[in-house]
Structure 1
Amino acid sequence: MSSLLEVQQLDTAYGASQVLFGMDLHITAGQVATLLGRNGMGKTTTVRSILGLTPARNGSIRFRGERIEHLRPDRIARMGMAVVPEGRQIFPNLSVRENLLAFSANRNQHPQPWTLERVYTLFPRLQERHRHMGNQLSGGEQQMLAIGRALMTNPYLLILDEATEGLAPLIREEIWQCLSNLRAHGQTILVIDKYVQRLIALADQHSIIERGQVVWQGPSQTLAQQPALWQRYVGV
């Protein structure tokens, strides 16, 4: 499998406040990877740097073999990167159907792309509520819509920032099952979340960060054998 995303020695700051210090991250095509760590340790800033929303000061980011750290966010998105942002950020005054169709594209040129019908099959509840406005949905339904909206771009890389934050346990499990299905179909995914035990079952590779630096990287099997490690750095 080929390398899809390579982040090397990334430094990122907000004004005079530096957040990332030599951040490294590597994701192979078809892999599910995670970023783990407590709040405020640099996970979202890493995602923002990858997406071009908070440009890096030093280091390099390669996506599909091309350097992207100096590209605009819209150009990076068109290269085949999609994000399910923290807080979902769906359009409240558009219907479920309109939210999905607004992002329709086949950026990875897949012969069987994500369509409205495929998203409705993945999330039947969205089909049931396809005429409802975004602000009429529950938190779980909004997260389903945010995932479906990202999939409608047919991305090479799907990023989920705080994938199940604030969701009820049953809805959270539904989101995990969705991600498991996507993995089975070969979708490359980067997940930020705090439920380490569930992520160990889902993901291939994990990176734990503290104060803007990677303190541990490794596969699920190794992380599962070291609960003291993730309890120390994630604390859940």
Structure 2
Amino acid sequence: MTTRLLTCENLSAGYGASQVLFGLDFAIDEGEVIGLLGRNGMGKSTTIKNMVGVLKPFDGTLTWQGHKLNTMAPDAIARLGLAVVPEGRQCFPNLTVREHLVAFSSRRNGNSTPWTLKRIYELFPRLAERSRHLGSQLSGGEQQMLAIGRALSTNPKLLILDEATEGLAPLIREEIWRCLGLLKREGQTTLVVDKYVDKLVQIADRHLILERGKLVWSGTSAALDADRSLWVRYMGV
């Protein structure tokens, strides 16, 4: 039986007097990997900020397993089991790699094989090598690995990656895709924002495409892969 984690109904949101999202409707079920797609400035990050409580909706409802998220604080939403790898990584410059990975550790998912420090180091051996280095001493690729590891340390029910491979070298991008493939095989529910559609269709179950703050298409990876006109029209690929 499918377990519904998050439901978004008629979501409208923005910044001050500027409306960015217009009546979004979508849902996320346990175990799904979903691609959130669209050109820059179409509302993807705004959607995520509303999901995790950084922004509050103008209208509509976000529901997480019976909990209405609209008025909840970000830390309370995180404790329900949502974790985000933010755009720009946002690692703490004065914390070591190890401190990042133990400071936020939790067992929110209840999975039988939790993400311990040991498992995160096995997933990203480079982090083990750099364990005592500060966040400010890491390369962009290492910071992205650390941001993913930090999110996994909370053992989230829903992992959100905003611009998963933005600005990374090709070899590091492949490392991130390898990680996402492993997480999918383990059943981790994941929402991914990324511009590399050719990689996402290999991993995601389905996709949501935003255009000027509206949901203009949703469907499976097979459907998106078969209609490359969508790539050109909505993502400029």
TM-score, scaled to structure 2: 0.98
Corresponding residue of 2:110: 109
Cα distance in 1, alignment partners of residues 6 and 28 from structure 2: 5
**CA RMSD of superposed structures (Å):** 0.8
Corresponding residue of 1:158: 159
SS at match of 1:24: strand
Query: What is the Cα deviation at residue 34 of structure 1?
Result: 1.1
Paired residues for 1:2-17 under 5 Å: 2-17=3-18
Moved more, 109-118 or 125-134: 109-118
AA aligned opposite 1:183: K
**Deviations 1:79-136, CA, capped at 9 Å, x for gaps:** 0000000000011111100111111111122232111001001001100110111111
SS at match of 1:10: strand
Q: Which runs of 5+ in 1 are unaligned?
A: none
Instruction: Give yes or no for the alignment of 1:174 onto 2:175.
Output: yes
Instruction: Give yes or no for the alignment of 1:89 onto 2:90.
Output: yes
AA aligned opposite 1:201: Q
Instruction: Give yes or no for the alignment of 1:136 onto 2:137.
Output: yes
Instruction: Give yes or no for the alignment of 1:46 onto 2:47.
Output: yes
SS at match of 1:54: coil
AA aligned opposite 1:203: A
AA aligned opposite 2:208: S
AA aligned opposite 1:38: R
Paired residues for 1:177-196 under 5 Å: 177-196=178-197
Moved over 4 A (4+): none
AA aligned opposite 1:29: E
Corresponding residue of 1:28: 29
**Deviations 1:135-191, CA, capped at 9 Å, x for gaps:** 111111100000000000010000000000000111001100100000100100000
**Deviations 1:25-78, CA, capped at 9 Å, x for gaps:** 211100000110011100000000001111001111111232211111110000
Aligned length: 236
Instruction: Give yes or no for the alignment of 1:206 onto 2:171.
Output: no
Query: What is the Cα deviation at residue 221 of structure 1?
Result: 0.4
Query: What is the Cα deviation at residue 13 of structure 1?
Result: 2.0
Corresponding residue of 2:20: 19
Cα distance in 2, alignment partners of residues 120 and 97 from structure 1: 10
Corresponding residue of 1:100: 101
Query: What is the Cα deviation at residue 217 of structure 1?
Result: 0.3
AA aligned opposite 1:162: E
Cα distance in 2, alignment partners of residues 231 and 63 from structure 1: 33
Cα distance in 2, alignment partners of residues 24 and 175 from structure 1: 29
Moved more, 76-85 or 104-113: 104-113
SS at match of 1:209: strand
Q: Which runs of 5+ in 2 are unaligned?
A: none
Corresponding residue of 2:124: 123
Cα distance in 2, alignment partners of residues 135 and 171 from structure 1: 18
